Amino acid sequence: MTLDYFKKLSIRWKVALATSIYILFVLLGAIFFTAFSFEQKLLKEKNQNIVENIKNIIESYKDSFVLRNLEKIDEMIKKIDELPSVFYVSVLDVDGRIIGDTEISNLGFVNKKLLQEFNKEPAIKKDKNIISFYYPVKIDTENIGFVVSKYNLDILKYTIDREILKILLQTLAIASLVILVSFAGVFVISGYMVKPLINLKNKITKITTTYIDSSEIDLKPVDAINPDKKCIKEISEACWLISENAGDILLSLGDKSLKECSVCEKFKQLSGDEIHQLNYSFYMMVASLKEYLRKLDEAHRERETLNCMATMGEMSAKIAHEVKNALYAIGNAANYLRNNIENDLVREFSGVIKEEVNRLNKMTVSFLNFSKLIEPVFEKGNLNKEINNSVMLLKPDMDYENIKLLLEFDEKLPDFSFDKNLMKQVIFNLVLNSIDALREKDSKDKFIKIKTEYIKMSDREIARIIVEDNGTGISREHRDKIFQPFFTTKPKGTGLGLPMVYKIIFSHNGAISMETEEGRGTKFIIDFRLK
């Protein structure tokens, strides 16, 4: 029951109580060990003092043995008997006859056995807690008598224990005060130390009650004297721990923070103690989890897009095949009417039929091309060169629309294997989309920017293509549909341009993403993993 109650207490109370109990046991152990050691030492000293006092008293009455002054001998016996714990004193002459004793009835008796037992040297004999001290009285080397005294160690120990008990009670009172002060101090200090854990608990509660992908990481930079903001792992421009926008940088790192920062020496130096490291580790876990959810969502949308493409491709292939046959027959019939009937109205309408047949035929060919399985023919080439050649074919269209072309090629980009014809189709589709978007915008400063980048990381190398324009952008409700087949906002569009780009990039094991802002432009980012 007590253990269950203790488990329910907060960490502050647990730490304070545990520390106080520990201090209590340490103090009690130290006090009682000190008391026991002091008692033994004091008992030994008292024992020696009694022996020395008995010797001194006997030596001071040595003349009474020579003169046989029984009164002085009785006086000596009384003085020895007054010493603490001494309860018996007996004085013998050289023949072993008792000439003085605390018990008068013993006077006159001869005890030669005692003389034979102790011989002529001082001796101490212990029987349980009764100490017998035998002391021969001498002048020069000649014995003139003997004194036997007995004292009780229990009585001596009792007197010592009473003195120690007084000191012990005072020490326990001081120890109690120390424990109370320690409890209060530990309670306050542990509250300060546990505060980061409480904040972490509140953060966990907040995140678990909402969708984690929409949660933000609110981090304050670590206070450091003259901090070096450089990231020693080179996974970001600055170390997120000492950056003002720490949360944003951490989110951009995602799973890298757990893999790299957790083993970074700079992180260990700046993050503080284990509790603060636990806080930062939790934030890194959130960043990693958000990246995982984002990738999972992208994979889900990619799967839906591919399934949709496969279904629509299969369906469009069947429909396009039948429509193409019908268009062929309609076109021939229109040609026959136009060539064999001399009528202006027939000629005019047969021309319209022929024109629309050609348009539908072109669209049908697009459907058939989209439905085909893309099998790239990989050959090593220079991506910068292929992009430049492709864009130059569309330069007249851009000049006609007063669109400025900006090219930024990364010369460090190595040659790698890709399908040159399919890559040209990707660039064509993206640039033509940008031209259409810019055509709809009433602005003098129109541009299309194509950029390549070579990105080298510790675990991979990436070739990146960025196609950017400052056109009309894509509305929020259309952003999730642009890679879906047959979705288009253009009056004469087929809705197969971007889905075809997606299929080509996918066939190269690449990835494509989009950044757009309505009214300000669109940016497509294509990544090919080299290693």
Of 330, 385, 388, nearest in space to 360 by CA: 330
SS3 16: helix
Q: Say how far apart CA 90 and CA 74 lie, in whole Å.
A: 10
Contact 426, 376 (CB under 8 A): no
Q: Say how far apart CA 392 and CA 299 lie, in whole Å.
A: 35
pLDDT reported for residue 450: 92
Residue with the two structure tokens 């640039």: 431
Residue 470 main-chain phi, psi, to 5 deg: -110, 45
- Show the tokens assigned to 344: 């202006």
- Give the rounded percent of residues in the chain with a pLDDT score beyond 90: 7
| Rounded mean pLDDT, 473-497 | 71
SS3 138: strand
| Rounded mean pLDDT, 406-429 | 89
Secondary structure, 3-state, 155-196? HHHHHHHHHHHHHHHHHHHHHHHHHHHHHHHHHHHHHHHHHH
pLDDT reported for residue 323: 66
- Show the tokens assigned to 51: 């022996």
Mean pLDDT over each residue of the chain, to the nearest integer:
79
| Rounded mean pLDDT, 446-473 | 88
Q: How confident is the model at residue 527 (pLDDT cuts 50, 70, 90)?
A: very high
Contact 412, 454 (CB under 8 A): yes
pLDDT reported for residue 408: 92
- Show the tokens assigned to 79: 């003085």
Of 245, 222, 250, 246, nearest in space to 235 by CA: 250
250-306 tens-digit pLDDT: 777 777 777 777 778 777 777 777 667 777 777 777 777 777 777 777 666 666 665
Q: Is 97 exposed, middle or buried (0-12, 13-18, 19+ CB in 10 A)?
A: middle
- Show the tokens assigned to 222: 């670590």
Q: Is the pLDDT of residue 370 over 70?
A: no
Task: Considering the domain delimited by 11-159, tell me its CATH architecture.
Answer: 2-Layer Sandwich (3.30)
Which DSSP state fits 10?
A: -
Q: Is the pLDDT of residue 1 over 60?
A: no
| β-pair partners for 527 | 464, 511
pLDDT reported for residue 516: 86
Residue 503 CB coordination number (10 Å): 23
pLDDT reported for residue 366: 60
54-104 tens-digit pLDDT: 889 988 888 888 888 888 889 998 998 888 888 889 888 888 888 888 888
DSSP string, 300-355: HHHHHHHHHHHHHHHHHHHHHHHHHHHHHHHHHHHHHHHHH---HHHHHHHHHHHH
Of 464, 499, 531, nearest in space to 308 by CA: 499
By mean pLDDT, which of 101-115, 186-200, 250-264, 309-323 is the weakest?
309-323
Highest averaged pLDDT of the listed ranges 174-178, 252-256, 440-444, 477-481: 174-178
pLDDT reported for residue 385: 92
CATH number given to 374-529: 3.30.565.10
Which DSSP state fits 245?
A: T
Of 266, 271, 268, nearest in space to 235 by CA: 266
SS3 495: coil
Q: Say how far apart CA 485 and CA 500 lie, in whole Å.
A: 8
517 backbone φψ class: left, alpha, beta (φ>0; ψ -120 to 50) = beta
| Rounded mean pLDDT, 492-506 | 76
Q: Say how far apart CA 464 and CA 254 lie, in whole Å.
A: 20
pLDDT reported for residue 407: 92
pLDDT reported for residue 181: 85
pLDDT reported for residue 125: 86
CA distances from 459 to 18, 441, 510, 526 (A): 48, 42, 17, 19
In the chain, where the domains are located: 11-159, 212-294, 374-529
> Integer distance in angstroms from the first to the last C-alpha of the chain?
62
3-38 tens-digit pLDDT: 566 666 767 777 777 788 888 888 888 888 888 888
pLDDT reported for residue 467: 93
pLDDT reported for residue 525: 92
Q: Is the pLDDT of residue 449 over 90?
A: yes
